[in-house]
Structure 1
């Protein structure tokens, strides 16, 4: 009996040890959000740099695996509901920001709009987690012709500040699940506009983030049909579509509110 009791106690001790080990392993298991953060730290080098093609593919592959559940989102959340008679408000969930990159989620109710805006000197990864939205994006024609020009301002042929010529990069509906979209400082659709057709969530990674002091100010635009200013440009279309973009103030009806992020936390170490 004594020997039997000793063996039983030993077995119980081994079981407790295994449970502690299991809890320890679970506690240190890396979440996909943590993997995204670690990959961003390796990929982004700071202002004035663009990730290499290999690094772009590596970060994109991580984002492609992320789901709404991975970041604690579901359609029943208040931020995805549209209030009757009110302009839809956009909700932003902040995950991380440093001088090299930022990670956040935009939550759009039906008919929510993120107006046409730019990303100066930035590489941006956008992952639609769920929903359907219309996306329209542009690149400056000048920038496409001279990729080394930052084009902080644009002028027409008369030398006066005014509408500038842009080429349409995309104009259509995107529905999740879909691949992560990537835009670059001088290409890929650097100016874009989102219009939610259903409740939508977009995970955004910006490298580097906006910073007024460093010249990365978010500028908003009105777009006009190419035929609106026919005398200002002579181009060969080659099947491409063009439009004129003119700077504007931030739209008064564009409201973004912050809300707590409830998903897995990022551990900075």
Structure 2
């Protein structure tokens, strides 16, 4: 266990930073932070469209293997882009050999729920219309994007579309009532989030909708019957830990093959720190193995 590396990551995240004055500064700060993360070698990127949204295509430079990762970036539904997720998408592509399409879904508060879910569902539908085999598509995301991976699968089922092969979420946010026990028990150990910080961001996305809706809080109210296999990764130093634990339990109760993969003493979306934190690369290795097994 790399205690020194974990302490280094925690210190990086706790460094004092000027408080952003508005949402535009928050977005710029998030983009600048993500730009410092390592991008894996052996990939190339290009812009494309999926449905009616821009998407970033990430491909291996060597011969690609069958399979498509439909990726949803994090950023509390109001920050981020396919570019801010490139450290994670490149890592998955380089390890699996499959291509990734990272969707530039609409952000709140300009476009609150259900805009992002609509964009995710339209992107998945577009892949199917383009002839993609659903058994070779995985829905993957981090943080808010992890939630969108789950809700895109829910919307697909509601629309009568075939299920994807798998769903993977890194530190997904699956309860917008913010009622998980870890919201309190991990408040001191989480170097990024508190309930008080997440509340306004959740409010911007929900925009008056009932936060217990299955698309907003799948850990509380989603019917996961017939869902594809799921891998949910989280760290013990994050207030969202119980979101993944409760969604995994709900999936198992519904007869879904679900893996809850928890790493000790690491923060929210710790996988982004591959190259600094050994456990980050190891977690991505496990996610890549899970994807390779289900995209065969």
Normalised to the residue count of structure 2, the TM-score between the two structures is 0.28
- Rg larger in structure: 1
In terms of fraction of residues, the more helix-rich structure is: 2
Greater per-residue strand proportion: 1
In the superposition, the TM-score normalised over structure 1's length comes to 0.30
